Amino acid sequence: MHSGTAPQAGRLDKIRPVGKWPNFDTPRSNHRPPETIGKRAKTNELILRRDWDFIMRLRLAGITRESVVDGPGIRVVIYAQGCPHGCPGCQNPDTHDPNGGKLFDVGQVVQMIRSVPMAQGVTFSGGEPFSQAEAFAELGHMLKSSSLDIVTYTGYVWEDLVSSSRDTWHDLLSLTTLLVDGPFYEDERDLGLAFRGSRNQRVIDVAKSLEKNAPVVVSDTYDACRRP
Ligand code: SF4
């Protein structure tokens, strides 16, 4: 899901490389040791799970280092690759293929975000971030020590997310400051909306909504993100 002005085709031109791939053959002390996960049928050779199997990865359509249209303030935008919603009029069908885009180690993405000194927040957009909820939640956890707030766009509605039995969806939701929910509807399209593309979409204060057990729609997004 994405905002009214994003991601237009041109926005993906702003994708920046986020560094080299790590050397996955180099053991890292903080990774779990290899463990046996099976045997090869003919040779009986043990199959070991390697360190790199535990590295969480994100499949991304792109990254914008500084955006002012995807939530309040200057934000780093992480575009998920893959979207199941198929909204008619979607301006970025290139993000739909779940096998497209490029894979990034979550740690690489954290480093890239931390290298943007002007950033006041991070936006998870797409594509559909909840299709990769576990990895986006991992990214959110790794950013928690920073002062960056998180805005998450989704084509699902709030009610879908809170009633889901998927722990990873709840995890990602709980790490989100503002949720922009709902699919893009062409007949509800409105270019005058802040951070949204169509009138059915809502900007939801997640902490207040979880507390009240009902979606709390906000108009002052700056206030919601800067709350102590
Ligand atoms: S949620 Fe809809 S508008 Fe957003 S990327 Fe998916 S298909 Fe496009």
In a domain, 40, yes or no: no
CA 77 – ligand 1 centroid, Å: 16
- Write down the pTM of the prediction: 0.80
Nearest ligand 1 atom to alpha carbon 85? 7
| Residue of 185, 184, 161, 183 whose CA lies nearest to 174 | 161
The answer to whether the CB of 155 is under 6 A from ligand 1 is yes
What mean pLDDT do residues 164-182 have?
96
CA 220 – ligand 1 centroid, Å: 25
In a domain, 17, yes or no: yes
Q: Which domain holds residue 200?
A: 9-25+56-226
CA 31 – ligand 1 centroid, Å: 35
CA 96 – ligand 1 centroid, Å: 8
Whole-number pLDDT of residue 90: 94
d(CA 93, CA 130): 17
In a domain, 129, yes or no: yes
User: Residue 71: pLDDT above 50?
Assistant: yes
In a domain, 144, yes or no: yes
In a domain, 43, yes or no: no
The answer to whether the CB of 62 is under 6 A from ligand 1 is no
CATH number of the domain residue 110 falls in: 3.20.20.70
With H, G, I as helix, E, B as strand and everything else as coil, classify residue 113: helix
Closest C-alpha residue for ligand 1 atom 4 = 1
Whole-number pLDDT of residue 5: 41
Number of domains comprising the chain: 1
Closest C-alpha residue for ligand 1 atom 2 = 87
In a domain, 2, yes or no: no
CA 1 – ligand 1 centroid, Å: 4
φ, ψ for residue 22, nearest 5 deg: -70, 160
Whole-number pLDDT of residue 56: 87
Whole-number pLDDT of residue 150: 97
User: Residue 86: pLDDT above 90?
Assistant: yes
In a domain, 60, yes or no: yes
Question: Strand 57-67 relative to strand 102-105: parallel, antiparallel, unpaired?
Answer: antiparallel
CA 212 – ligand 1 centroid, Å: 28
CA 158 – ligand 1 centroid, Å: 16
Q: What is the pLDDT of residues 120-160, one digit of tens each?
A: 999 999 999 999 999 999 999 999 888 899 999 999 999 99
Q: What is the pLDDT of residues 176-201, one digit of tens each?
A: 999 999 999 999 999 888 899 999 99
Q: What is the pLDDT of residues 36-70, one digit of tens each?
A: 656 666 676 666 655 555 678 999 999 999 999 99
The answer to whether the CB of 127 is under 6 A from ligand 1 is yes
The answer to whether the CB of 116 is under 6 A from ligand 1 is no
Nearest ligand 1 atom to alpha carbon 92? 8
d(CA 213, CA 20): 43
Helices and strands per DSSP (H, E), number in the chain: 6, 9
* Pairwise pLDDT comparison (7 vs 87), residue with the higher score: 87
User: Residue 26: pLDDT above 60?
Assistant: no
Q: What is the pLDDT of residues 203-219, one digit of tens each?
A: 999 999 999 999 999 97
In a domain, 35, yes or no: no
Whole-number pLDDT of residue 6: 42
